[in-house]
Amino acid sequence: MVLQYIQSSITERGYPPTLREIGNFMGIRSTNGVNDHLRALERKGYLTREDMKSRALRPTVMTGMDEGTNGTNGHSGNGKTNGHAVTGDLIEIPILGRVAAGQLTEALENPEDSVKIDRVLIGGTGHEVFGLRVNGQSMIKAGIYSGDYVFVKKQLDARKGEIIVAMVGDEATCKYYHPESDRVRLVPANDEMDDIVISKTDWRSTQILGVVVGVYRKLN
């Protein structure tokens, strides 16, 4: 039950529950009692935790649960809780090269590389996410630098102020999205650069490739 609650919290909210939230869910008043459950899960290899912090709880892939092993509160230990398979949170994201106009699907089918990361690092999502390498300094005040990789959730729409990847001409660009009554402004996070302004008559819904949900940077 504890493991399922942690997994559900990460899936639905993008981060694990606190000790108090686990206690409320389980009907356990003492945080020491909650820690006893977590330590038991760690010993069995079903959970990892950094420095005893509840927000650093990570369910692992359940490969060691044999048939007939008793689970908490009478659940069978077959790698499932209430009928749902318990899996780890690592997801594989394709890293794309240059994305030309109209060729996102082709690029996704033939990625240059891929990377596995924890689902929680991109807000709990994982469906239709791809990575692109940033070229240029247009988003430096947003903490996105040339050479960084942005993780992008593939979708055709976005909310005002979100950082998107959009097609402008034959190139994909990363900018803030600001739709207005008669135009769309793609706004850089660099005071030395101008907005890209596109009239509504020239703007196509397919120009939005997706919304940025994460950034990865190599330190050396």
In the CATH scheme, what is the code of domain 2-85? 1.10.10.10
The DSSP-derived string for 101-123 is TT-HHHHHHS-SEEEEEEGGGGT
| 67-76, 124-133, 165-174, 182-191: range with highest mean pLDDT | 182-191
Tell me: pLDDT of 178 over 90: yes
Is 32:39 a contact under the CB 8 Å cutoff? no
Residues counted in the chain: 220
User: What per-residue confidence (pLDDT) applies to 190?
Assistant: 92
User: What per-residue confidence (pLDDT) applies to 107?
Assistant: 60
Q: pLDDT category, 104, cuts 50, 70, 90?
A: low
Catalytic residue, candidates 116, 138, 160, 218: 138
Q: What are phi and psi of 137, to 5 degrees?
A: -115, 20
C-alpha distances in Å from residue 57, one per residue of 9, 123, 195, 211: 11, 15, 42, 27
Residue 25 backbone class (left: φ over 0; alpha: ψ -120 to 50; beta: rest): alpha
Q: What is the mean pLDDT of the chain?
A: 75
User: What per-residue confidence (pLDDT) applies to 105?
Assistant: 58
Catalytic, 200? Answer no
Question: Which residues of 60-204 form beta strands (DSSP E)?
Answer: 80-81, 84-85, 90-96, 113-118, 129-133, 149-154, 163-168, 171-179, 183-187, 196-199
Q: 209: part of which helix (H) or strand (E)?
A: strand 208-216
Q: What is the mean pLDDT of residues 67-76?
A: 37
Q: Which is more confidently placed, 60 or 122?
A: 122
User: What per-residue confidence (pLDDT) applies to 177?
Assistant: 95
Every domain of the chain and the residues it spans: 2-85, 90-216
Q: Which is more confidently placed, 48 or 159?
A: 159
Catalytic residue, candidates 9, 175, 200, 218: 175
User: What per-residue confidence (pLDDT) applies to 126?
Assistant: 55
Helices (H), the chain: 2-13, 19-26, 31-43, 104-109
Catalytic, 175? Answer yes
Architecture of domain 90-216: Ribbon (2.10)
- Distance, in Å, from the CA atom of 59 to the CA atom of 48, rounded to the nearest integer, reads 6
Is 47:58 a contact under the CB 8 Å cutoff? yes
User: What per-residue confidence (pLDDT) applies to 180?
Assistant: 94
